[in-house]
Amino acid sequence: MTALKAKTRAAVLQIAEWQLGVVEMPSGSNKVKYNTAYYGREVSGGAYAWCMAFVWWVFREAGFSLYKTASCTAFVNRYKTFAPSQVVTSYKPGDIVFFDFSGRRKKTEHVGIVVGVVGNTILTIEGNTGNGNDANGGAVMKRRRDVSLITCGVRPSYPDPA
């Protein structure tokens, strides 16, 4: 992966794509390599949901230094305060989007990386999702989401256009 550490949108998307199919082991444990990298040690248990750790890991592998937090809410608040021009409401591949599955767009309970936009839906790659649980499903998957579930997005400072 070192060859892709070019701080580009393409690198982020390729690294995220390479992670499809990774699952926590054992199931339901939150024990996964993204948490190990994030915390610097192996962790497991309900306190270690890893959707944000997955996003942090992907961007780190692509050469970016994102604000390091395991909290979707803390990440969004940081950007709203210190980089409001990077908070977006229209989405492009490589953007980081936050979901409120209640559809009320008030909380940030999950995160994904946009890989495509088609009308009112987006295609994302997400960590800690699953067919039975959108926000804590234990796998890295490609998901199709309605934009009505998105609270907001953050567009990292990419040197390349979308």
Confidence check: pLDDT of 3 > 60: no
| pLDDT 10s digits, 56-91 | 999 999 999 999 999 999 999 999 999 999 999 999
Which residues have C-beta within 8 Å of that of residue 94, sequence separation ≥ 6? 9, 12, 13, 113, 114, 155, 156, 158, 162
| pLDDT 10s digits, 136-158 | 999 999 999 999 999 999 999 88
Residue 133 is which amino acid? N
Do the Cβ atoms of 97 and 89 come closer than 8 Å? Answer: no
Q: How confident is the model at residue 1 (pLDDT cuts 50, 70, 90)?
A: very low
Please state the rounded mean pLDDT for residues 17-25.
Answer: 97
CA separation, residue 48 to residues 53, 78, 83, 87 (Å): 9, 20, 27, 26
What was the pLDDT predicted at 103? Answer: 75
pTM of the model: 0.94
Please state the rounded mean pLDDT for residues 12-27.
Answer: 97
**Tokens 């309970």, located at residue:** 109
Region of 45 (left: φ > 0; alpha: ψ -120 to 50; beta: rest) is left
What was the pLDDT predicted at 6? Answer: 74
Confidence check: pLDDT of 43 > 90: yes
CA 61/CA 57 separation, integer angstroms: 6
